Chains A and B, each alone.
Chain A
């Protein structure tokens, strides 16, 4: 037996296994597929309302506002009063703007604010909305019609021992019970003593008379009502008022509950006037138009020349702010859909429609600007630029144009009232 060497053994240059590039590619693919599957599964199995698109499919009503989640909200619920320059306060003012269009030409402006279940932010929403309306010079009354778990008086720092329930059973007069709040034009009627029969009280003829009376003496009548699903109070009340706002908490309300809520309203033949989304995530796909109102301020260099040198970093009292270039958006009359909120012009509307004194009330200090521009998403910011440029070029014209248009509106209103009273007087003398 002879052993000979046929060839030399070749030393492999690379290992046969593992095949790193293949494994990497496979791993990436499988990982992606798994991740995707998990995401799809989670999305399909998630029964909670997460954001706008969930509500769109369920709601017969437009979304008129979106309030971002704030972990500190329980500590400072009255954000419009507490920190008027915060983004949450801004979103309540946007809500106010859209809300003001809800009534249309209807003379009645009484609204019930309710939700599916408790803890969705009804009271916080109604209180901030009322303050925002009062800030805009509206005569507002907010009534705690949640006669089961009243929270409004505590939130507003008022004594709630007597209120609506005492009024409805005739124990006290309205003038005795109503409490002015702040220095503005906001009145508050707390719930009063908790009665054994809230639904009956809210459905009584005394309640109907009260609503009619309040609609006469206030521009806006807001009711903070009990949630719709557990009790019937809000459904009863909603048939007496001119509109219903449904508060929907992102990540808390279930889609099935929301469906039931709208069904409950349909049963009493009420179509909700609008939906307010609360507790929205500040980031991600469900973030609701977050920060868009500050799109104009995205470029700090652009902002700089708007800030008077003497007042950098301090609120400016009298000058119109670039945040809301008033006449850039379409006018209220030709604006097609005020209520489709994420569309930008909704934010620009208030200054065009509200009294001109409104705009300066929302100055943004320089330090906040920078933080906002950092938080703003570029995709949302970019489309704003042309609008802002135009607004800036037209600044001088706008400044004179806006108060004029405001006055014009007022005069026409006054004229109308005058003509009316005159004709009434004439017919009286005839």
Chain B
């Protein structure tokens, strides 16, 4: 069974679908990517700018429909990567046990870049990365977040997409170790 990874942001129409699509395009492993939003209106498509960003970075944005993050969804995921700390907090509040496998995307990228990830099932990969928490010098809190570009000029989308692309470069090799 594929290891379920969930990407979470607010509306599930900008940041989380971009990250989901970039990861899907770059990870060749039995990992299944999905996304959801803490405030999402179910059925909404990605914004045009977000779809453009995803395509520019090699993602496949067609057919994405927004959905709301639920307790069941959190519970059934093996790894949850959020756009910002606020989403991490919301996810953990839905299902406290998820604190063991919920990170912000950039936090997980930073930890994964430091970790020696052994090949193994998804759970062990996440545990190896999570064990790096606290080892590195702490960063400014906003260094863990991808700012929300929704209803902002295209330049903001480009900033967000670049941050996501950068994080995915570190996350993808770690997830590629999943067997």
Contacts and interface: CB of A to CB of B under 8 A. Distances in A.
Contacts of B44: none
Nearest to B95: A176
B138 A182 contact: no
B115 to A, nearest CB: 10
A157 B92 contact: no
Contacts of B68: none
Interface size grouping (class) on chain A: 20 to 34
Contacts of B95: 176
A422 to B, nearest CB: 38
Interface in A271-311: none
A193 B90 CA distance: 11
B92 A181 contact: no
A269 interface: no
Given A75-B138, A162-B99, A166-B96, A181 B89 contact: no
A327 B171 CA distance: 49
B98 to A, nearest CB: 9
B96 A176 contact: yes
Given A157-B107, A179-B99, A180-B100, A75 B137 contact: yes
Nearest to B97: A176
Contacts, number: 60
Contacts of B97: 175-176
Interface string B118-155: 00000000000011011101100100000000000000
B92 A81 contact: no
Contacts of B96: 162, 166, 172, 176-177
B134 A159 contact: no
Interface in A121-164: 154-159, 161-162
B35 interface: no
A372 interface: no
A158 to B, nearest CB: 6
Chain B binding site: helix, strand, loop or mixed by DSSP?
Answer: helix
Given A176-B96, A179-B99, A159 B88 contact: yes
Nearest to A75: B137
Contact of B137 (A82, A158, A180): A82
Nearest to A184: B131
A76 interface: yes
Contacts of B99: 158-159, 161-162, 177, 179
B21 interface: no
B93 A182 contact: no
A166 B99 CA distance: 14
Contacts of A76: 137-138
Contacts of B54: none
Contacts of B90: 161
B88 A157 contact: no
B102 interface: yes
Contacts of A176: 95-97
A255 to B, nearest CB: 33
B162 to A, nearest CB: 24
Nearest to B133: A157
A162 to B, nearest CB: 4
A179 B96 CA distance: 10
A161 B93 contact: yes
Interface in B53-109: 85, 88-90, 92-93, 95-97, 99-100, 102, 107
A152 to B, nearest CB: 11
A159 B89 contact: yes
A81 B135 contact: yes
B89 A157 contact: no
A82 B137 CA distance: 7
A401 to B, nearest CB: 35
A82 B132 CA distance: 11
A81 B131 CA distance: 12
B47 to A, nearest CB: 28
Interface of B: 85, 88-90, 92-93, 95-97, 99-100, 102, 107, 130-131, 133-135, 137-138, 141
Interface of A: 75-78, 81-82, 154-159, 161-162, 166, 172, 175-177, 179-183, 193
13 contacts: A154-B138, A161-B90, A161-B92, A161-B93, A162-B96, A166-B96, A176-B97, A177-B96, A177-B99, A180-B100, A180-B130, A182-B134, A182-B135
| Top-6 shortest CB links A-B | A161-B89, A176-B96, A157-B133, A176-B97, A162-B96, A172-B96
Given A156-B133, A161-B88, 16 more contacts: A76-B137, A78-B134, A82-B135, A154-B138, A155-B138, A159-B102, A161-B89, A161-B92, A161-B93, A162-B96, A162-B99, A172-B96, A175-B97, A176-B97, A180-B100, A181-B133
